[in-house]
Amino acid sequence: MKEKERLLQTCCIDLHVHMDGSLSVETVRALAELAGKPLTETDLEIRSKLSVSRGCRDLSEYLDKFVYPLSFLQTAGQLSECACRVKEELRQKGLLYAELRFAPQSHRQKGLSQEQAVQAVIAGAARSELPTGLILCCMRGQGNEEENRETVRLARKYLGKGVCALDIAGAEGLFPTEEYEDLFACAAELGVPFTIHAGEAAGPESVRAALRFGAKRIGHGVRSAEDPALLRQLADSGALLELCPTSNLHTGLFPDYESVPLRALLDAGVKVSINSDNMAVSHTWVGEELRHMAETFSLTDAELRGLLENAARGIFADEETKDRLLRQIENV
């Protein structure tokens, strides 16, 4: 077996995967059974509610696909079962490590508190042996400032107890990153590491704000390629961009894989990792994303290995875990 194929089959790490965007048809059926409401739809009908069509027009239409799976993630039992199932799916695909993210405030429709949601996901994640960290997402929007502050406090409370970091997700174009400076100042003061969705629906100014807040990683960040000065800043800072290519195609950011600025980012010395974003919504997984990039840009074995090593070094975990992952990659 060629080196590139061995790497793809045994060394994948996903740092940017949303739990609610990654429910398989089988998981949805199981969660419905837990609620005592078994589904009568066919697998094809369920899949059409979970995944975008080829004609997906923008990020707003993409985000609409989260409404259906979230309806099955509103009890502690459902959240716990989902976390375990998503992790097991990743383990069965051969991943070395993953960081699964979710927004606790999105799971309160049936009376759960944010803390109960976090506890349920931690409990479910612990049932799978795949090494994993959980990232709590704040949400962009209006009128949820206190909910976001609570998410930050919970990230601090459960840091090192299943939770590894904080994030903010949602409609970046409508709610600019710059508006959340105080939120991330609070996270920094509490010692909570964070990544920030930026440079996807909004341009380079969003990435600059995330760097100014102290983000060590940027979710997506691909529009940084529009600004050479920002590329130099990213390279100097050592911040890692969490690229999610197929997701960017689905949200209309790029027309095809050839338009993803991977080569420009690498040539500028920017640290990049490749991720899935949402396995169900975009009908993909990190190994497939890496394969797309390897084939599209004719990546050498060394370049592919470098992307995997970037991911290993960028995890929100201790140095021992990073070293273990790097050794596993090195030994392939």
For residues 164-185, b (16+ Cβ closer than 10 Å) or e, as one string?
Answer: bbbbbbbebeebebeebeebbe
Catalytic site positions: 200
Which whole number is the average pLDDT over 202-225? 97
Which of the pair, 62 or 232, is modelled with greater confidence?
A: 232
Check whether 136 has a pLDDT greater than 90: yes
Say yes or no to pLDDT of 238 above 90: yes
Q: What is the mean pLDDT of residues 233-247?
A: 97
DSSP track, 235-266: HHHTPEEEE-HHHHHHTTS-SSGGGSTHHHHH
Token couple for 236: 């100097």
Residues 217-233 as b/e (b if ≥16 CB within 10 A, e otherwise) read bbbbbbbbbebeebbeb
3 has pLDDT over 70: yes
pLDDT for res 1: 60
Between 132 and 64, the more confident residue is 132
Mean pLDDT within 54-65 = 77
Give the model confidence (pLDDT) of 161-185 as tens digits: 999 999 999 989 899 999 999 999 9
What CATH number is attached to the domain comprising 234? Answer: 3.20.20.140
Q: What is the pLDDT of residue 60?
A: 72
pLDDT at 275 over 80: yes
Mean of the per-residue pLDDT values for the chain?
Answer: 96
Q: In terms of Cα–Cα distance, which of 27, 159, 8, 10 is closest to 88?
A: 27
Q: Which amino acid is at 55?
A: G
pLDDT at 53: 81
Residue 54: pLDDT band by 50, 70, 90 thresholds?
Answer: confident
Q: By residue range, what is the domain housing residue 303?
A: 3-330
At 332, the pLDDT band (50, 70, 90 cuts) reads: confident
How far is it, in rounded angstroms, from Cα 169 to Cα 131?
Answer: 23
pLDDT, residue 55, reads 72
Residue 286 has what pLDDT?
98
Is the pLDDT at 47 greater than 90, yes or no? yes
Number of structural domains found in the chain: 1
How would DSSP label each residue in 100-147? EEE-GGGG-TTS--HHHHHHHHHHHHTTS-S-EEEEEEEE-SSS-HHH
Average pLDDT of the residues in 147-170: 98
Confidence check: pLDDT of 93 > 80: yes
The set of residues, in sequence order, having a beta carbon less than 8 Å from that of 26 and lying 6+ positions away, is 85
